[in-house]
Each structure stands twice: as C-alpha cells, then as structure tokens.
Structure 1
C-alpha cells in the first residue's frame, strides 16, 4: 500500500470539522477502514467518498450511528440484488 494514497485521520477531522470520536465510531462499526502506520491512523483515499456520504447523512440529516449502519446494510443489499438482476437478465438473453 502506497503512503501517498493514505490521508491522516487528523487531516480528515480538520477538513470536515468532525471530532475524532466520529471517525473512530465509523471504524468501530465497520463502516470505514482505518490503517495504522507508525502510530498514525490513516484512511485510504478510496474510502473518502464513503466517509463523505456517511458524514452528510449524520450531520445534514441527523442520522445516528445505528441508522448509518442500517443504511449501509440496505445499500449493500440493493447492490447485491442489482448485480443478481443483471446476471439473470444476461442469462435470460441467452434463451431469447
């Protein structure tokens, strides 16, 4: 993993004006991944869009951590069902 692709959690907290506990709670709930390198915690740049979505849901819509977990679960289910639907359409296309 390239250190250039990692963003320190302190920088995320400063940029988005969130407390460190919010980032930690997202990590503890499994909603984002935090990587520790030499006692400094980082978030991979690919996770930033997910963090931003969760941040907006929490601060703009006042959704608590449990609600974020439920939303995350439902979105994963929707993506899974969309993938299955596409696979079934492709299989059905073979018989038409």
Structure 2
C-alpha cells in the first residue's frame, strides 16, 4: 500500500481550507484515494499540494490560474524531455558522421 495522509490531517497540518482541497480535487489536480469514507492523498502528491497552496495563499493565485500554471509547467517539462531526446539523436548522428569507414 502506498503511503498516504488523510485530507483532514492535511488541512490541520498545512492550515488550508477544506474547500481549497475540494477545488483541487474537483479540478483533478489532486487524486484522492477513498477508504472507509475517508479521503487520502498519497505522499507523492504532497509536493503538488504544497506548491498549489503556496501559489494560492502566498501569491493570491486563483484556481484557474493554478490550473494554467500547472499545465504550463508540465508542458515545459515535456519539452525539456523531448529536447534531451532530440539532442541525444543529434549527438549519435554527429558521431556516426565522424566515423571512418
């Protein structure tokens, strides 16, 4: 079983609003697990929750803004991955071009 924390504990520890967590879940930015009518967030999603809470409470970013920023950061990561993959192909091609036959 994956490590997880109840949403009630998250609200108490992080001092965030229950409605904010519900909005993140409704927007599919967080994906809770449910067991015995208790909702849990897996530990792997906690960095996302912390980031969203910081944007919302510290920078006053609303939920649509959080969704857009999150989407853009994911796209940026995808582009970085694709760039590394393409650079790997270029490096292989340059090595092949320099080979003596």
Bin for the TM-score computed over the shorter chain: over 0.9
Aligned length: 94
CA distance in 2, matches of 1:35, 1:19: 19
Cα RMSD between the aligned structures? 0.8
CA distance in 1, matches of 2:48, 2:16: 15
Gaps of 5+ in 2: 95-101
List 4+ stretches of structure 1 deviating above 2 A.
Answer: none
What is the rounded CA distance, in whole Å, between the counterparts of 1:66 and 1:18 in structure 2?
18
TM-score if structure 1 supplies the norm length?
Answer: 0.95
Structure 2 residue 85 is matched with structure 1 residue 64 = no
SS in 2 for 1:79: helix
Long gaps (5+) in structure 1: none
TM-score relative to the length of structure 2:
0.90
